[in-house]
Structure 1
Amino acid sequence: MSNVLVLHGFTSHPVLTMGPLPETLRKAGFNVAQPALPGHGTRPEDLRGVRWQDWLQTAREAYLALPEPRAVVGLSMGGLLAGWLAAEHKTTALVALAPALGLKNRMAYLAPLLHYFKPWAFSTDPTEEAKRRAKSPNYPNFPTRALAELVALQQRVPELLPRVWAPALVLEATQDDTVPEAAVRRYFALIGGPHKEYRSYPSQHDMLLDPLAQQISDDIAAWLREKLPAQK
């Protein structure tokens, strides 16, 4: 049986924000692993003191625990970690959904300094954020220091992507309010291997909570079945 590691995004719930994708992959014959990255799936306060190396190490351990052949799928920050793993190992396939190689909110890049004065951050206006998050399992807010760790991870991934030679599928959400199109296209362009594909969907950043989530999940499963060995 082929194996797929599924990685969630920053402040995201490790299971709920992945929508129908894990079950769609299982029905397609894959064994699926969904680790909770440190500080996630519990409460925002648990992100305090977590470093990007902790996220990477958890993802790496979960990946290496899977027998080959194995693929890795990541959403947003998970896409950065997935790219890192694909650069480190002979991954059979890589799928990155809205990989967070950049952020539309430029204030995020002040997080390494701001966290001393503003320990908690909101991704948008708090009132509007509360309304949006009421329908989302993601954290409503998060430590500014944790955002600084995401920025630090972003800065390290570009040098690794040229080492990715596995077949790769990169998905852009054209209505993304978090990650700019230029960042997703840069991620795609930096992938070193020739067997890569770019697709766009009229979706929000949380592509797997979007009305198109099932279609996106079906498309990923079909693409992976073409790249991984036939299921027995």
Structure 2
Amino acid sequence: MAEKYPVLQNAESFFMEGGDIGVLVQHGFTGTTQSMRFLGEFLAQVGFTVYAPRLKGHGTHYEDMEATSYEDWIASAEEGYQKLKAACREVFVVGLSMGGTIALHLAEEYPDIAGIMLINAAVRVKNFEPLAKETTRYLDAIGSDIKAPDVAELAYSKTPVASVKQFLTFKDIVASRLSAVTCPTLVLVSREDHVVPPEDSDYILAHITSELKEKVVLENSYHVATLDNDKELIARQCAAFISEINQMKTKS
């Protein structure tokens, strides 16, 4: 189904051509590529080819999101992955929140992914389950959980209950297959997060079977950490992780 509303300014997909290593940069549930632009630009500046796809139903109006399914969101991300794979020698994936859930899904489906970087990724979010039982059509916004003052996430003002149900189904599927994730994994998790419990990141680390897995705790950011006080730290950590993996491959 076609989207009924135009794409919001700063919510568009963006592509930045660099070297032969690609990085898929994936935004989260009800969010937009605006939350990932700083990270994407940093990775492009250090020489990577970056693509940040806008998930279908996102970045327009919450009525568009309500009409989409988790399969639509996966399709948007997979199309982005295939675009990078066609242009680059290898591809890494970095995702925020549900973008991290999508990164895990891609790693489960495509074992040739070089590595994933998860920022406050969601796989359990027990706090979301009561939301799916709400009888109203729309809930209040869940975006802009940011510690830094005067910073706002470009995200929907309402959250469709139908979309919450889709997300819960998707995260359960991904969580049930975590053992299929074998690629190098960097987990970045905010110590204080009012959207996704930090315990989700520990659950991921405990259930993936990657030989190389690292955890970085973000001390000064809430959920949308890519726009928060630790955004530079995240960017540096992701760039260093990609370089580390590539150096290991070169030596082997």
- TM, length-normalised to structure 1: 0.88
Distance 1:7 1:133 in 2: 23
Give 2:103's match in structure 1, choosing from 71, 82, 91.
82
| Paired letter, 2:154 | P
Give 2:212's match in structure 1, choosing from 192, 195, 202.
195
| Paired letter, 2:109 | E
> Unaligned stretches of 5+ in structure 2?
1-19
Distance 2:222 2:71 in 1: 28
Q: Is the 8 A contact 1:45 1:142 kept in 2?
A: no
Deviation track 1:42-74 (CA, whole Å, cap 9, x = no partner) reads 122211121111111111121122233111111
Cα offset, 1:112, TM superposition: 4.1
Distance 2:245 2:152 in 1: 35
Tell me which residue corresponds to 1:141.
158
Deviation track 1:142-162 (CA, whole Å, cap 9, x = no partner) reads 211111111111111112221
Distance 1:65 1:171 in 2: 26
Give 1:35's match in structure 2, choosing from 42, 45, 53.
53
Give 1:150's match in structure 2, choosing from 143, 167, 173.
167
RMSD: 2.3
Indicate how the Cα distance of structure 1 residues 19 and 46 shifts in structure 2: closer, same or farther if over 3 A, else same.
same
| Paired letter, 1:33 | Y
Aligned length: 221
Q: Is the 8 A contact 1:93 1:228 kept in 2?
A: no
Give 2:203's match in structure 1, choosing from 171, 179, 186.
186
Tell me which residue corresponds to 2:130.
110
Tell me which residue corresponds to 2:22.
3
SS of 1:188's equivalent? Answer: helix
Distance 1:28 1:44 in 2: 35
Cα offset, 1:133, TM superposition: 10
SS of 1:178's equivalent? Answer: coil
SS of 2:167's equivalent? Answer: helix
Distance 2:138 2:96 in 1: 23
Q: Where does 1:1-232 land on structure 2 (aligned, <5 Å)?
A: 1-14=20-33, 16-67=34-85, 68-89=89-110, 90-103=112-125, 106=127, 108-114=128-134, 117-123=135-141, 135-202=152-219, 203-228=221-246
Cα offset, 1:38, TM superposition: 0.9
Distance 2:228 2:84 in 1: 29
Q: Is the 8 A contact 2:151 2:228 kept in 1?
A: no
SS of 2:84's equivalent? Answer: coil
> Unaligned stretches of 5+ in structure 1?
none
| Paired letter, 1:28 | V
Distance 2:218 2:153 in 1: 20
SS of 2:124's equivalent? Answer: coil
Q: Is the 8 A contact 1:111 1:145 kept in 2?
A: no
Query: 27-36 or 153-162, which moves further after superposition?
Result: 153-162
Deviation track 1:186-232 (CA, whole Å, cap 9, x = no partner) reads 0121111111111101111000110121121111111111113699x
